[in-house]
Amino acid sequence: MTTAPFSHELTRRIALLACEKAGLRAADRDLALIRLGENALFKVAAEGVVVRVARTLDYWPDVAREVAVSRWLHSAGLPAAEIVEAIDQPLAVDGHPVTIWRYIAGGPASYDRIGDLGALLRGLHRLTAPDELTRHDDDVLGRVQSRVELAPISEPDRVFLLRRLAELRDEVADLDYVLPPAVIHGDAHIKNVMVADGRAILIDFERAAYGQPEWDLGMTATEYSTAGWWRSDQYQAFVDGYGFDVTRWPGFPTVRSVHELKMTTWIMQRVRDSTDIAEEFASRMRTIRDRAPSTWNPW
- The pLDDT, as a whole number, for residue 2 is 45
Same domain assignment for residues 98 and 172: no
Same domain assignment for residues 184 and 279: yes
| Mean pLDDT (whole number) for 117-127 | 98
Would you say residue 134 lies in a domain?
yes
Would you say residue 266 lies in a domain?
yes
Chain segment 221-270, per-residue pLDDT in tens? 999 999 999 999 999 999 999 999 999 999 999 999 999 999 999 999 98
Same domain assignment for residues 60 and 139: no
| Mean pLDDT (whole number) for 39-60 | 95
Same domain assignment for residues 279 and 143: yes
If you average pLDDT over every residue of the chain, what do you get? 93
- Angle 224-42-297 from CA coordinates, rounded to 5°: 25
End-of-domain residue from the set 103, 119, 153 = 103
Chain segment 169-200, per-residue pLDDT in tens? 999 999 999 999 999 999 999 999 999 999 99
Would you say residue 1 lies in a domain?
no
| Least confident residue range of 2-6, 33-37, 75-79, 140-144 | 2-6
Residues 6+ apart with CB under 8 A from 170: none
Would you say residue 156 lies in a domain?
yes
Q: Is the pLDDT of residue 145 over 50?
A: yes
Which residue segment(s) compose the domain that 70 sits in?
8-103
Q: Using an 8 Å Cβ cutoff, are 148 and 285 in contact?
A: no
Q: Is the pLDDT of residue 137 over 80?
A: no
| Mean pLDDT (whole number) for 204-220 | 94
**Closest of 272, 276, 269, 274 to residue 39, by C-alpha:** 269
End-of-domain residue from the set 51, 85, 103 = 103
- The pLDDT, as a whole number, for residue 3 is 62
Beta bridge partners of 51: 42, 100
Same domain assignment for residues 210 and 135: yes
pTM for the complete prediction? 0.88
Same domain assignment for residues 130 and 250: yes
| Mean pLDDT (whole number) for 283-294 | 91
Query: Residue 134 — very low, low, confident or very high, per pLDDT cuts 50/70/90?
Result: low
Torsional sign, CA 14, 16, 21, 24: positive
Same domain assignment for residues 124 and 217: yes
| Mean pLDDT (whole number) for 105-133 | 93
Same domain assignment for residues 276 and 138: yes
Distance of CA 228 to the CA centre of its chain: 19
- The pLDDT, as a whole number, for residue 139 is 73
End-of-domain residue from the set 103, 128, 158 = 103
Residue 271 DSSP label: T
Same domain assignment for residues 79 and 117: no
Would you say residue 299 lies in a domain?
no
Q: Using an 8 Å Cβ cutoff, are 71 and 32 in contact?
A: no
| Backbone φ/ψ region at 297: left (φ over 0), alpha (ψ -120 to 50), beta | beta
CA distance 20 to 17: 5
Same domain assignment for residues 55 and 166: no
Give the CATH number of the domain where residue 126 resides.
3.90.1200.10
Query: Residue 1 — very low, low, confident or very high, per pLDDT cuts 50/70/90?
Result: very low
Query: Residue 142 — very low, low, confident or very high, per pLDDT cuts 50/70/90?
Result: confident
Q: Is the pLDDT of residue 112 over 50?
A: yes
Same domain assignment for residues 52 and 183: no
Rg (CA), the chain: 19
Would you say residue 26 lies in a domain?
yes
Number of domains in the chain: 2
Work out the widest C-alpha separation in the chain, in whole angstroms: 53
Chain segment 87-104, per-residue pLDDT in tens? 999 999 999 999 999 999
Same domain assignment for residues 147 and 59: no
Would you say residue 297 lies in a domain?
no
Give the CATH number of the domain where residue 38 resides.
3.30.200.20
* 252-268 and 155-173 helices, crossing angle to 10°: 150
Query: Residue 133 — very low, low, confident or very high, per pLDDT cuts 50/70/90?
Result: confident
Beta bridge partners of 36: 40
Q: Using an 8 Å Cβ cutoff, are 21 and 91 in contact?
A: yes
Query: Residue 131 — very low, low, confident or very high, per pLDDT cuts 50/70/90?
Result: confident
Would you say residue 135 lies in a domain?
yes
CA distance 245 to 248: 6
| Mean pLDDT (whole number) for 21-41 | 92
